[in-house]
Amino acid sequence: MSDNKVLHYFRKICAIPHGSGNEAALGGYITSFAEKRGLSARRDEAGNVLVRKPGRGAEPVIVQSHIDMVCEKNSDKKHDFLRDPIEVIEENGFLRANDTTLGADNGIGAAYALALLDGAYAHPPLEAVFTTNEEVGMEGAAAFDASVLTGRRLLNLDEGTEGVLIASCAGGARADMTLPVETEPAEAGRRAALIEVKGLLGGHSGIMIREQRANANALLGRLLAELTRSYDLRLYELSGGMKDNAIPREARAVITVREADFSAVGAAAAAFEAEARREYRAVDSGISVIYGETIINEETPRVLTRESLKRTLAAINLTPNGPLFYSADIKGLSLVETSSNLGVIEFSGDTVVLRSALRSSVAPRKRGLITKFESLAEAVGAKIDLRGDYPEWEYREKSPLRELAAKIFTEAYGREPVVSAVHAGLEPGVFISKIPGLDAVAFGPNIYGEHTPGERAEISSVLRVWEYLLALLKNM
């Protein structure tokens, strides 16, 4: 198996469950790691860890990463993210997991920081910050007391494309729409059917939203709405997606239909599959709509009333989803400026909950998007809960740190880096809002399929970026 110090620590991280909200064990490991090496370490109430390491010169540099990961798995995979380690597989020059997310986002960044803290390298004094709950709204960074930091230069290690220096990112928020619904006993003599939308690529709802991939929740909502126009469909079960910041790959519904309509509904579902495949043929060609009889194991099953079904489907189909605006500020880049991702649908008893991740690099547009959600919730009789609001990272025209990072990159790679912005949220925006004058840049190795079970990290890229990080720090 390939190994160096970074890969060693990444495997250590993967061995400790660390999904968002469950980072305590990993935070404890990092704190113990630092103390065993005689380094100053402090852990705050939010679980963030700050480790200081002496170095050359007087001006420290902040090296920052987050220690939570998105926990996604294939539906048939048995894995408990609260207890089970990530099974890391090395294959064809990549690291991947076994039917789960790998957590290279941002476990590789945290592994870089641990490797720096464990070695004798030329660098300025280091302030290594490991934050929690980044994936659910940057809650750890928001709670972190930045006044304890003395550095005014920040290296964020949470970029997933080698050769790109990130200088700006979107701000965002989470919107949970809770719709009260009513149920009634299912009519006798009807047949139950399972409808599943599967086979989608999914992906990180910030990074991959630009690809305009299909959203399983949105597709299922559309299919159900179309079916209700022609058939007396009643809804018994509805669910889709696992995380609001991951484009959902699968969604399912259990419905009841009249015996005479059962086959016709199946034919309509098959026709919808063909249409969806044609619609998304260039970006998400594996869409599958599965329809078949199922059994409801409940003595007195209850289904949504017709009025509640109408409002539920209206809420799903009117929820903003996908890229909404593209940036006109950064020339030559097809950069999404504003987007929304309907990541999760949950139906339990008397409520249907729609969970969305909202992003924008323009504050007024983010506010306008939030207003749309508030108006939609009011129109369908739902409650809206906004959380995890975090600021955008505005582009800085003059950045000595970015200029130095570009210079060292050119010397190391023999070509200039791409200076870009990213539609995903990155924590420098939070730290910049707390530390006036903070200069920041983000970079990292090639990571593909973040927030999906197809996530993989290119080993050679991880090692090249490690050498680049050492060269950059040596010149700071």
What is the set of active-site residues? Answer: 68, 134
Report the amino acid identity of residue 84: D
For the beta carbon of residue 337, count every other beta carbon within 10 angstroms. 21
* Cβ contact 359:175 at 8 Å: no
* Cβ contact 216:326 at 8 Å: no
CA 56 → CA 52, 154, 169, distances in Å? 13, 17, 31
* Cβ contact 473:122 at 8 Å: yes
Q: What is the rounded distance in angstroms from the CA atom of residue 440 to the CA atom of residue 456? A: 26
Residue located via tokens 């006109």: 328
CA 213 → CA 135, 286, 360, 446, distances in Å? 20, 11, 18, 20
Strand partners, 302: 185
Q: What is the rounded distance in angstroms from the CA atom of residue 369 to the CA atom of residue 319? A: 10
Report the amino acid identity of residue 191: R
* Cβ contact 69:107 at 8 Å: yes
SS3 for 247? strand
91 φ/ψ angles, rounded to the nearest 5 degrees? -155, 125
